[in-house]
Amino acid sequence: MAEFVPDAACVVGIGRSAWGKRGELADRGTLRLALEAIHAACADAGLDPRDIDGFAGYCDDETTPAELTVALGTRDLRYAGLVWGGRGSGLPGAVTNAYMAVASGVADHVVVVRSIVQTRRLGQSVAAGVGRGEAIPLNASYTVPFGFALPAALYAIRAQRHMALYGTTIDHFAEVAINARRNAVNNPDARFRTEITREEHHASRLIAEPLRLLDCCMESDGAAALIVTTPERAADLRATPVRVRAVSTSHERKWGIGGFNQLGEAFVSTGHRPAAAELYRRAGLGPDDVDVALFYDGFTPSVIMSLEDWGFCPIGEGGPFVAEGAIRREGRLPVNTHGGNLAEVYLQGITHLLEGVRQLRGESCNQIPGAEVALYASGVGAAPGGGVLLRRW
Partner 1 sequence: MPSDATAAAPGAGAGNRPAGLPGPVVAPVNEGMWRAAAEGRLDLQRCTACGAHRYPPTDGCARCASLDWEWSTVPGTGTVYSFIWVPDRKRSDETRQVLYNVVVVELDGTEGDPVRIVSNVLDAWEIGDLHVGQRVELACVPLGDGIGLPCFRRAGAAAEAAPDALGADAAADEAGRAGVAGGGATAGSGG
Which listed range, 79-87, 157-165, 221-229, 298-306, lies at the site for partner 1 (CB under 8 A)? Answer: 157-165
Distance (Å, whole) CA 334 – CA 242: 19
Give the nearest distance from C-beta 82 to partner 1 in angstroms. 23
Closer residue to partner 1 (CB): 70 or 164:
164
380 is an interface residue for partner 1 by CB under 8 A: no
- Which of 46, 73, 145, 167 touches partner 1 (CB under 8 A)? 145
- Which of 99, 148, 280, 310 touches partner 1 (CB under 8 A)? 148
Start-to-end C-alpha separation, the chain: 28
- Which of 70, 203, 235, 263 touches partner 1 (CB under 8 A)? 263
Tell me the per-residue interface mask from 92 to 121 with partner 1, x by CB under 8 A, - otherwise. Answer: ------------------------------
- Among 81, 140, 149, 90, residue whose Cα is nearest residue 272: 90
CB-based burial, 105-143: b 16+ in 10 Å, e otherwise = eebbbbbbbbbbbbeeebbebbeebeeeeeebeeebeeb
Residue type, 371: A
- Which of 14, 25, 98, 150 touches partner 1 (CB under 8 A)? 150
Closer residue to partner 1 (CB): 9 or 207:
207
Tell me the β-bridge partners of 10: 229, 243
Distance (Å, whole) CA 215 – CA 202: 9
- Which of 60, 76, 209, 363 touches partner 1 (CB under 8 A)? 209
203 is an interface residue for partner 1 by CB under 8 A: no
CB-based burial, 289-309: b 16+ in 10 Å, e otherwise = ebbbbbbbbbbbbbbbbbbbb
3-state secondary structure of 339: coil
Residue type, 386: G
Closer residue to partner 1 (CB): 19 or 299:
299
- Which of 1, 2, 66, 135 touches partner 1 (CB under 8 A)? 135
Catalytic residues: 296, 346
Contacts with partner 1 by CB under 8 A lie at: 127, 130, 133, 135-150, 153, 156-158, 160-161, 164-165, 205-210, 253-254, 257-258, 260-261, 263, 267
